[in-house]
Structure 1
Amino acid sequence: MDTISIKDKAAIIGVGHTEYTRGTHRTEIEQSLSAAIAACRDAEIDSASIDGVVMGWRDEPTNEDFINALGIRDLKYHAHVHIGGASPAAAVFNAALAVATGVASRVVVVTGWNAFSSPSRLSEVSDRPTVVNVPGKALRENLEAPLGLLAPMQWYSFHANRWIHDYNIDRDAMATVALTARAHAHLNPHAFMRDRPMTRDDYYASPLLVEPFRKFDVSLETDGAAAVVVSSASSANTSRRPIYIAGGAEGHADSPDDLLNRPDLLDMGIGRAAPRAFEMAGVEPKDFDFAELYDCFSFIVLRQLEEMGFCGRGESPDFVKDGHTALGGELPINTHGGLMSEAHVAGMNHVVEAVRQLRGEADERQVPGAELGLVTGYGDFGDGSALVLHN
């Protein structure tokens, strides 16, 4: 059976986000609804005309909350996507499928949370072995938590250490990823780390939290939300340039909730998702002008480059050398600072940044002549998602 293509049948016509903070008076529901309203304003549409809602990862707000807050008159479609940090990109593709097939005409896609203000943030994790928001809850609580495995940095360390061992990885590449993100954040007025310099010496002086992760290898805990409005391409009427969705996909690793029994510990869903998205769009890795890659940890950026075919396994340290992935390089990555230096809203801010780059609205961090961009997501224990966008 041939794959159904929705290439260029849907477009992103609006983006919005809240302020990215540590500490807020807003609830998570208020954050998400505020971002949705901001995206509608950016799209120059009446929020009441929205007829579809897709939530990336979180269960709240509910569809009723959106109807009430946006004044939606006829909600035709809603969905919730639950694949961790792979959810936002997958949710945008979900919305594109809905408008391309005529199920809805304007869909708002939102992700938001108060990761810093939440009482369960990782920096204040309790001794109680309770695991939330990841698959395999029973496995985690009954087999792993009693042994002290409670946090993502612990789970992902198995993957990172196996990769470093098998391919004799130069760990300085992880520092390069973190420093490049921070340098880009300094050019972004919305970035939480905009005015917080970091040198390579600072990176190596930061605490080693879990081998091989230092403090600056780990994404931020911030409060906030981001959203986009997806429309059918034929009705993308706005004074701003519509950004077309050329391809998209999601993919999942083998034994997705049991990392340690995976046949290939380095298997990642992005290795399945990206080729499908590239095929739909008719592009290859060498064609991209920039990439916004999910960066919950610095090594995940490196591993995605390998699994998507930008380089071979074990070759990403050479790929990111000598400013290749910095602004002005061949493939600028995470031009906004990413989850590591802009904010952590599960990657929806990566989609927002890609749209701004393709509109030519990224100011000091603008990639000259940007026409084709990639956004990825990484979730749970290897879920992956990819979006190919162009102007």
Structure 2
Amino acid sequence: MPNILFEKCAISGIGETAYVRGSGKSETALQMEASLRAIADAGLSPKDIDGVIPYATGSAVAEDFITNFGIADLRLSATTPLGGAGCIAAVQNAVGAIVAGIANHVLIPIGRNGYSGARIGSRVQQLPQFRTVGEFEMPLGQIAPVQLYAQMARRHMETFGTKSEHFGKIAVTIREHATMNENTLMTEPLTLEQHQNSRMISDPLRLFDCCLESDGGAAIVISSGERARDLKSKPVYIMGIAEGHPDSPSAITQRPDMTTLGTAKAAPRAFGMAGVDHKDIDVAEIYDCFTYIVLCQLEDLGFCKKGEGGDFVASTSLGLDGPMPINTHGGLLSQAHIIGMNHIVELAKQLRGEAGKAQVRDAKIGLVTGYGDMGDGGVAIMRA
């Protein structure tokens, strides 16, 4: 199947704030700061932006960007309430709008105070599926994301023999990458022994299986391929993109297979659209709210069969020296929890050759995923 998106859309600009605990800024201010940096990175003026897709549960709406940036004619505004899959879904919406001629430069910003503001533990009450979760999960005491996803991890372990040590290898590898990054919260190496000795949060997920609570902002600008070629920074072209929703999308406990995510539906579409195979992927930024979710996505993406994720992780190097390094920035587990927008920014850096000490040699094609709420999945494949 030919690449139907061939050079039609590209990431033209990327921007990040410092990732910290205690930003001292509002979430709107963090979005604006990251957005201005992304716009400047593209060599654009804020007034050039004609599409905005803010974070669905964030503090800023499209009108805030019109007011603050002096945008005279905003042609597209939308939200994509898929939690951590929302950033990939936003890119898909931006691509559709640009290909349709609705907009030329679409800004996708994220800004959140996950540490100093609303903590991750309160996320369940923000879910679009809250009514269903309130009926099926919360009466059983599942009031935080780690409790919702722990049961998925335990089912995988009981069904396929997956071990905590497999989760640990993922955590250790991603932390190693974080230590090479100057803009990261976790700067000390992590050993498998430390992972195994860390306290249990929700069986079988331990402390170092869980993502960070952090403050910060990140943003990207998506432009038409034709315009991106004439802008300041090297364009990163979007080859294939898709979103997918799991069966029984509103309640984990009610679905027939708790070990399969919406990623399994999105991945074949993204790979088919891009016209590439798994062996063509040089680097992957995989949404890592929990280590188990990384392992599950590796299966659903097709890098190994369902149930073989543990053996795949044990036998395959996911580090910079391996065939497909993952989360080269440190991810949500060790860099910061920016709803996965930092994953997209990192992939753009890798494909531009701007990832510093964690740069993957000769990275030409990369993959980035999003994972949201009860199992929504997003997959994007990009190239320099």
Would you call these one fold, judging by a TM-score over 0.5?
yes
Other-structure match for 2:217 = 225
Other-structure match for 2:184 = 191
Other-structure match for 1:172 = 165
For 1:132, the aligned partner's letter is Q
- The whole-number CA distance in structure 1 between the counterparts of 2:98 and 2:344 is 18
Tell me how far 1:281 sits from its aligned partner: 0.4
Q: CA RMSD in A?
A: 1.7
The answer to whether the 8 Å contact 1:6/1:97 transfers is no
Determine what percentage of the aligned residue pairs are the same residue.
43
Other-structure match for 1:345 = 338
The answer to whether the 8 Å contact 1:15/1:352 transfers is yes
- The whole-number CA distance in structure 2 between the counterparts of 1:355 and 1:203 is 30
Other-structure match for 1:8 = 7
- The whole-number CA distance in structure 2 between the counterparts of 1:360 and 1:288 is 15
- The whole-number CA distance in structure 1 between the counterparts of 2:68 and 2:2 is 37
Residues 378 and 332 of structure 1: CA distance in aligned 2, closer, same or farther (over 3 Å) = same
- The whole-number CA distance in structure 1 between the counterparts of 2:94 and 2:196 is 42
Structure 1 residues not aligned, in runs of 5+: none
- The whole-number CA distance in structure 2 between the counterparts of 1:366 and 1:137 is 40
Deviations 1:313-352 (A, max 9, x none): 1212222235611011100000000000110011000000
Q: What is the total number of aligned residue pairs between the two structures?
A: 383
Other-structure match for 2:272 = 279
- 1:106-125 alignment runs, 5 A limit: 106-122=105-121
Q: So what's the TM-score if we normalise by structure 2?
A: 0.96
1:215 aligns with 2:217: no
- The whole-number CA distance in structure 2 between the counterparts of 1:143 and 1:313 is 26
- 1:63-212 alignment runs, 5 A limit: 63-122=62-121, 131-193=124-186, 195-212=187-204
1:332 aligns with 2:325: yes
SS class of match (2:247): coil
Residues 353 and 120 of structure 1: CA distance in aligned 2, closer, same or farther (over 3 Å) = closer
For 1:162, the aligned partner's letter is R
Query: More deviation in 165-174 or 3-12?
Result: 3-12
SS class of match (1:228): strand
For 2:325, the aligned partner's letter is P
Other-structure match for 1:303 = 296
Residues 217 and 28 of structure 1: CA distance in aligned 2, closer, same or farther (over 3 Å) = same
1:46 aligns with 2:45: yes
Q: So what's the TM-score if we normalise by structure 1?
A: 0.94
The answer to whether the 8 Å contact 2:58/2:111 transfers is no
Question: 1:312 pairs with 305, 309, 312, which one?
Answer: 305
The answer to whether the 8 Å contact 2:165/2:196 transfers is no
Deviations 1:74-116 (A, max 9, x none): 1010110000100011111211111121100001111221000
The answer to whether the 8 Å contact 2:124/2:145 transfers is no
Tell me how far 1:205 sits from its aligned partner: 1.8
SS class of match (1:86): helix
The answer to whether the 8 Å contact 2:183/2:335 transfers is yes
1:383 aligns with 2:383: no
The answer to whether the 8 Å contact 1:58/1:111 transfers is no
Question: 1:365 pairs with 347, 350, 358, which one?
Answer: 358
SS class of match (1:80): coil
